[in-house]
């Protein structure tokens, strides 16, 4: 199958293009609710509008808040689902410390007004990398130089690396320096975005992970095309993680094939790849022995509380998953089938994908209530499952 374009790269490319005097043609042969939210907001940005329809897209909100501040424009960000409840601290405090005023926490719409000023911005490394990416995108627009100081290890460093790469492609300079307990980004002020004539969005490792898992736990190999082996996307780690379980995966040019494999439990630190947790939990459910998914506390702040939704969904299908404060402990079936049955979507696209792929190892059919939640990242997901011949145990 041909994988869809990367949502992470698409968000950044559309925003950087909108900030350019001569916008680039962003080639993204696919859309989703999140990508459409960013496209609609950058259209509003270029046309001088103040109301931004973010939907449930955290990237859209967290990238555009500091950008509107840097432009000195009032922004009214309309949100849906859990987005208004997802944390904005410490980005909120840093924006307010540098001249902006925001609406109270937990209130929708989220509003910002005032003129952002250059200076030193301090963000802990263990919070959402979207805060850092938003600042790196906004600060070059200010007249003065700025520094983003990241205190402690940067957990989701791959997402910041993606931001830095896209900024470079659009003519923005930055300098990364290692500090005593973390790192910092020095951002010269007074820069202008100047993008390439065309920008092609690369394939999405986050979504490819579900298909590679399907090949490993199912009865037939699955081949995924359109991925960069050397991608900056952190979720490319799924290949190494599945191999740690004992899975067989082979590269052939830009194609990678996952083969049905006997899996053995392992330990996985997901602090840098939280979006892989549902995939890993599914693989662990049919492996032999115990799997620990560690440093997963940030999963509680996603579209659903993913520690709870992963555990309860897989348990409803017959798996043995124990939820702890910041981890999951899974006792695998040793290759035996799960049961199947009814599950709910939790309003979370990645939970729907996990439940759908779980049907490959269930004795009875899987019925997903609210499966339309998958449209947040992949509206055609179930049609693609049918085309691949993997939807036979879904009802």
Question: Is 302 annotated as ligand-binding?
Answer: yes
243 is in an annotated binding site: no
Task: Give the C-alpha separation, 188 to 41, whole Å.
Answer: 26
Is residue 269 part of the annotated active site? The answer reads no
Of the candidates 275, 292, 305, 348, the residue annotated as catalytic is 275
The verdict on whether residue 309 carries a ligand-binding annotation is no
**Cβ atoms 265, 332 nearer than 8 A:** yes
Report whether 129 belongs to an annotated binding site: yes
Q: 12 labelled as ligand-binding?
A: yes
What is the 3-state secondary structure of the chain? CECCECHHHHHHHHHHHHCECCCCEEECCCCCHHHHHHHHHHHHHHCCCCEEEEECCHHHHHHHHHHHHHCCCCEEEEECCCHHHCCCCCHHHHHHHCCEEECCCCCCCEEEEECCCCCEEEEECCCCHHHHHHHHHHHHHCCCCEEEEEECCCCCHHHHHHHHHHHHHCCCCCEEEECCCCEEEEECCCCCECCCCEEECCECHHHHHHHHHHHHHCCCCEEEECCCCCCCCHHHHHHHHHHHCCCEEEEECCEEEEECCCCECCEEECCCCHHHHHHHHHHHHCCECEEEEECCHHHHHCCCCHHHHHHHHHHHCCCEEEECCCCEEEECCCCCCECCEEEECCCCHHHHHHHHHHHHHECCCEEEECHHHHHHCCCCHHHHHHHCCCCCCEC
Does 387 appear as a known binding residue? Answer: no
Q: Binding residue per annotation — 327?
A: no
**Integer angstrom CA distances of residue 340 from 6, 43, 260, 363:** 31, 44, 20, 6
Q: Does 69 carry a binding-site annotation?
A: no
43 is in an annotated binding site: no
Q: Is 306 annotated as a binding residue?
A: yes
Instruction: Please check if 7 is assigned to a binding site.
Output: yes
Instruction: Specify which residues 52 forms β-bridges with.
Output: 77
The answer to whether 219 is a known ligand-binding residue is no
Where is the binding site for 3-phosphoshikimate, in residues? Answer: 7-8, 12, 128-130, 156, 275, 302
Where is the binding site for phosphoenolpyruvate, in residues? Answer: 7, 58, 86, 130, 306, 350, 376
**Residues designated catalytic:** 275
Where is the binding site, in residues? Answer: 7-8, 12, 58, 86, 128-130, 156, 275, 302, 306, 350, 376
């Amino acid at each position: 199958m041909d994988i869809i374009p990367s949502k992470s790269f698409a968000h950044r490319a559309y925003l950087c293009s909108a900030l350019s005097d001569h916008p680039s043609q962003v080639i993204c042969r696919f859309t989703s609710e999140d990508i459409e939210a960013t496209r609609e907001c950058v259209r509003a940005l270029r046309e001088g509008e103040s109301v931004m329809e973010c939907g449930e897209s955290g990237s859209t909100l967290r990238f555009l808040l500091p950008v509107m501040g840097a432009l000195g424009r009032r922004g009214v960000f309309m949100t849906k689902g859990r987005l208004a409840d997802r944390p904005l601290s410490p980005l909120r405090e840093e924006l307010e410390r540098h001249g902006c005023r925001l609406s109270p926490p937990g209130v929708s719409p989220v509003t910002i007004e005032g003129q952002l000023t250059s200076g030193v911005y301090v963000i802990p490394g263990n919070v959402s990398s979207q805060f850092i990416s938003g600042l790196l995108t906004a600060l070059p627009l200010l007249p003065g130089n700025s520094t983003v100081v990241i205190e402690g290890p940067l957990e989701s460093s791959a997402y910041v690396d993606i931001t830095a790469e896209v900024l470079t492609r659009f003519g923005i300079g930055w300098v990364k320096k290692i500090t005593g307990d973390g790192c910092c980004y020095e951002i010269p002020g007074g820069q202008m975005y100047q993008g390439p004539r065309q920008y092609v969005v690369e394939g999405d490792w986050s979504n490819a992970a579900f298909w590679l898992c399907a090949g490993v736990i199912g009865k037939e190999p699955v081949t995924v095309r359109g991925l960069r082996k050397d991608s900056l996307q952190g979720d490319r780690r799924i290949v190494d993680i599945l191999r740690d379980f004992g899975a067989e995966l082979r590269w052939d040019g830009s194609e990678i094939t996952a083969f049905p494999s006997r899996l053995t439990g392992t330990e996985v630190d997901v602090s840098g790849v939280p979006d892989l947790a549902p995939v890993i939990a599914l693989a662990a459910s049919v492996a032999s022995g115990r799997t620990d998914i560690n440093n997963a506390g940030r999963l509680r702040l996603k579209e659903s509380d993913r520690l709870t939704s992963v555990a309860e969904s897989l348990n409803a299908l017959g798996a043995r998953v124990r939820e702890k404060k910041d981890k999951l402990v899974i006792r695998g079936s040793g290759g035996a089938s799960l049961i199947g049955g009814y599950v709910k979507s939790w309003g979370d696209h990645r939970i729907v994908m996990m439940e759908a792929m779980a049907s490959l190892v269930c004795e009875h059919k899987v019925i997903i209530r609210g499966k339309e939640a998958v449209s947040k990242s992949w509206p055609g997901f179930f049609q693609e499952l049918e085309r691949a011949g993997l939807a036979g145990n879904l009802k």
